[in-house]
């Protein structure tokens, strides 16, 4: 039900039209697909996992030094139980994460103006951590922009339609650690939710737990292909396409062993107004600034108040 697509069909030019058609079918159907041949260096991916392991193994006090609660920009360490992605049940997620966004200098005018999501990243004192995460962020954003070009073609738009909306993005990188489940009733790794942005690129370590609930179907286990991304449509892209594309609920069950994943959320620039694209019919949603929409969703997720600027 969740298809596997080879990015080289598009990037290499051998079957661009076929890839675009297959991507469009996946985006309209399950809202998920696996992407192979993506070109993101596997050595870099492995180093991201290795650096994440080093970070999560740090003493609690060191992680608390860069708590996400200390900044209004949602950057840094989020402790186990801080989030409840399932807004209906309110059950706390059993996971911890490190979060970063566009890496800005302290004297950047947007940082000095305290613009939303325009703070500096908080970094642990780990050799190579910052360089690795920044390199991965750039590689994932390049791939995400490429995928959005295929999206544009599927929607009958110029290939570069989304480029200007993605040059200075709200995109975020999250490395996540899920401890083994305890068997407690109601326990959840990550509650049922849809993602907030345009598309998500997820790399996992192969440990089972991710489940998807396609429209009109029950929960299914997401397949794993070594080295492939799990790609899914987010709410902003669903709004942009006026519900032509599907942002599908998913969750993470408590794993049998510790589980790690690396999620990259492709988001628009803060001031981009997300509204129904040309040719998608009568708008089903009011226009909304990307930053305002993201803030509203994040504020509903956290079980403790983040610092306000």
- Strands 32-36 and 4-6, how do they pair? parallel
Residue 128's CATH number:
2.60.120.330
Give domain status of residue 49, yes or no. Answer: yes
Give domain status of residue 229, yes or no. Answer: yes
Give domain status of residue 307, yes or no. Answer: no
Give the SS3 label for residue 141. Answer: helix
pLDDT of res. 302: 83
Count CB-CB contacts under 10 A for residue 264: 25
Give domain status of residue 272, yes or no. Answer: yes
Give the SS3 label for residue 203. Answer: strand
> CA quadruple 94, 216, 246, 203: dihedral positive or negative?
positive
Contact call for residues 174 and 82 (beta carbons, < 8 A): no
Give domain status of residue 304, yes or no. Answer: no
Global pTM exceeds 0.95: yes
Give domain status of residue 47, yes or no. Answer: yes
Boundaries of domain holding 127: 4-299
Q: Which residues contact 116 (CB under 8 A, 6 or more apart)?
A: 72, 73, 270, 291, 295, 309
Q: Which residues contact 165 (CB under 8 A, 6 or more apart)?
A: 268, 269, 272
Count CB-CB contacts under 10 A for residue 269: 17
pLDDT of res. 309: 55
pLDDT of 290 > 60? The answer is: yes
Give domain status of residue 308, yes or no. Answer: no
Condensed to tens digits (0 to 9), the pLDDT of residues 202-217 reads 999 999 999 999 988 9
Condensed to tens digits (0 to 9), the pLDDT of residues 30-42 reads 999 999 999 999 9
Give domain status of residue 309, yes or no. Answer: no
Give the SS3 label for residue 35. Answer: strand
Domain count, the chain: 1
């Amino acid at each position: 039900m969740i298809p596997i697509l080879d990015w080289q069909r598009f990037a290499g030019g051998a079957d661009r039209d076929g890839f675009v058609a297959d991507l469009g079918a996946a985006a309209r159907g399950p809202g998920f697909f696996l992407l192979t041949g993506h070109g993101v260096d596997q050595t870099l991916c492995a180093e991201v996992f290795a650096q994440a392991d080093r970070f999560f193994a740090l003493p609690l006090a060191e992680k608390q030094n860069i708590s996400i609660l200390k900044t209004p920009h949602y950057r840094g360490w989020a402790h186990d139980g801080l989030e409840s992605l399932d807004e209906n049940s309110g059950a706390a997620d059993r996971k911890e994460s490190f979060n970063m966004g566009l890496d800005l200098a302290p004297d950047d005018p947007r940082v000095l103006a305290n613009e939303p999501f325009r703070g500096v990243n908080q970094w642990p004192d780990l050799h190579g951590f910052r360089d690795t995460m920044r390199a991965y962020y750039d590689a994932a954003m390049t791939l995400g922009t490429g995928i959005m070009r295929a999206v544009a073609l599927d929607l009958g738009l110029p290939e570069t339609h989304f480029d200007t909306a993605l040059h200075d993005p709200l995109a975020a990188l999250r490395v996540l650690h899920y401890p083994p489940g305890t068997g407690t009733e109601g326990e959840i790794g990550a509650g049922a939710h849809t993602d907030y942005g345009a598309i998500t690129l997820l790399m996992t370590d192969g440990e089972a737990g991710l489940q998807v609930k396609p429209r009109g179907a029950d929960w299914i286990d997401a397949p794993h292909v070594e080295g492939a991304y799990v790609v899914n449509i987010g709410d902003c892209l669903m709004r942009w396409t006026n519900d032509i594309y599907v942002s599908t609920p998913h969750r993470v069950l408590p794993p049998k062993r510790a589980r790690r994943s690396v999620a990259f959320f492709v988001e628009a620039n803060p001031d981009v107004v997300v509204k129904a694209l040309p040719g998608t019919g009568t708008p089903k949603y009011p226009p909304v600034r990307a930053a305002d929409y993201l803030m509203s969703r994040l504020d509903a997720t956290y079980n403790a108040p983040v610092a306000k600027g």
